[in-house]
Amino acid sequence: MNLCILAYKNLKRRKIRSFLTIGGVAIAVAVLVSLLGFNNGYKRALTNDIDKMGYQVLVTAKGCPYEAATMMLQGGGGLKYMPEEAYNKIAKDERVDKISPHLIATVFDPEKAGGRGGVAIYSGILKNYLDLKPWIKFKSGGWFSSDTAYEAIMGYEVAELEQRSVGDKIFVPSVDKILTVVGIIERTGTQDDGLIFLPLKTAQRIFDLPGRLTGIGIKLKRVEELGEFEDALQDIPEIQIVSMAQVKNTILSLVSTARVLVTSVAVIAILVAIIGVINTILMSIFERTREIGVMKAIGASNLDIFKLVWLETILVCAAGGIGGSIIAILGGNVVEYFVKRILPYAPSGKLILITPQLLIISFIGAILLGLISGLYPAFRASSMRPIEAIRSGE
């Protein structure tokens, strides 16, 4: 009889034990696949978010760089202000290719979320904002009629959530002002989808922040001049410079601690799975001691017994590898939900990126797990003496 078929039938004889062991391996593989998928997906999503910012440098008011990074990537947090004169001075620098100032303000709106209340984020901008983000298109309507108009352009998501269309009126609770919606932006997949845009001067006036800004987005003609550009701005008080690379490294450093913890959990799960597989196969050998003795007595070689037990271990781990991959694929959205809830900053887009290459590597890893786990049980079974095995099994 083929050894593979015999190994399968041996595992099938103890269905519950085999199923639990396969489940342990599957959980370990699922954790590993999810972790590696998160590592790939998070980096790609973060890179996409940074690329979609449209600028390489953000100038903000002096303060914590973590707050500055959050403000840049999520449109909130770190709401500190700097004088508008800083923008006028930086705009004259010959190294600057494109530049756009903005003023962000957050307002609590008691009418949001079905009366439960929520925060609306307003961003005062100039038309050069579109120069930094040429991919922005209008779903309906267009730009403001003037730089001082009481008008608003809504991001795709906030417009969908509030069921707004061009011509609607928006009431800003904290300042008791009414804005007219003149445009709605198509979905961009960035923080812009959740913002309400105003003319910069209008925002400064209604939020009582004359001559103040929260940030200045800058794209240089030559990115390699960034260090020189930063040095030239040191004499401007009340500002700090945050580069895209700095933001990326800052956020990844925040995530690294969580990734180390999850990696530790994955390693522990793998070790537990190995122990579980070894224990299951050893118990199976002890229960079949007499059977193994009879097989050797009628002509089975040590190598035959070794291969039989080894195949049983590999089949358990292979089944666990397949099951773990399925769990990781089906449970990816659940894992992503909790990741976005726990992390201080979660970029938009898919965070758990499970590729065919990753699944193949994980399956190969499960097979290697079986090869390693099966060495001792297979050696133990193959080294039994026929007569002693038959007697001990009586």
Beta bridge partners of 152: 181
pLDDT by position in tens, the chain (length 394):
577 777 777 777 777 878 888 888 888 888 888 888 877 777 777 667 666 666 778 888 876 555 555 554 454 444 678 888 888 888 888 888 889 999 988 888 776 655 666 788 899 999 999 888 888 899 999 999 999 999 999 999 999 988 899 999 999 888 888 999 999 999 887 788 889 999 999 999 999 999 999 888 888 888 777 778 878 887 777 788 777 666 666 666 766 776 777 778 778 878 888 888 888 888 877 777 777 777 877 877 888 888 888 888 888 888 888 998 898 888 877 777 776 666 655 666 677 888 888 888 888 888 888 888 888 888 887 777 776 666 664 5
What was the pLDDT predicted at 81? Answer: 85
Contact 202, 124 (CB under 8 A): yes
Beta bridge partners of 103: 124
What was the pLDDT predicted at 53? Answer: 65
Query: DSSP per residue over 271-285, as a string?
Result: HHHHHHHHHHHHHHH
- In a 3-state reduction of DSSP, which class is residue 147? coil
What was the pLDDT predicted at 41? Answer: 79
What was the pLDDT predicted at 225? Answer: 79
- Give the separation between CA 21 and CA 71, rounded to whole angstroms: 48
What was the pLDDT predicted at 75? Answer: 47
What was the pLDDT predicted at 307? Answer: 82
What was the pLDDT predicted at 146? Answer: 94
Entry pTM: 0.58
What was the pLDDT predicted at 72? Answer: 47
- Give the separation between CA 255 and CA 259, rounded to whole angstroms: 6
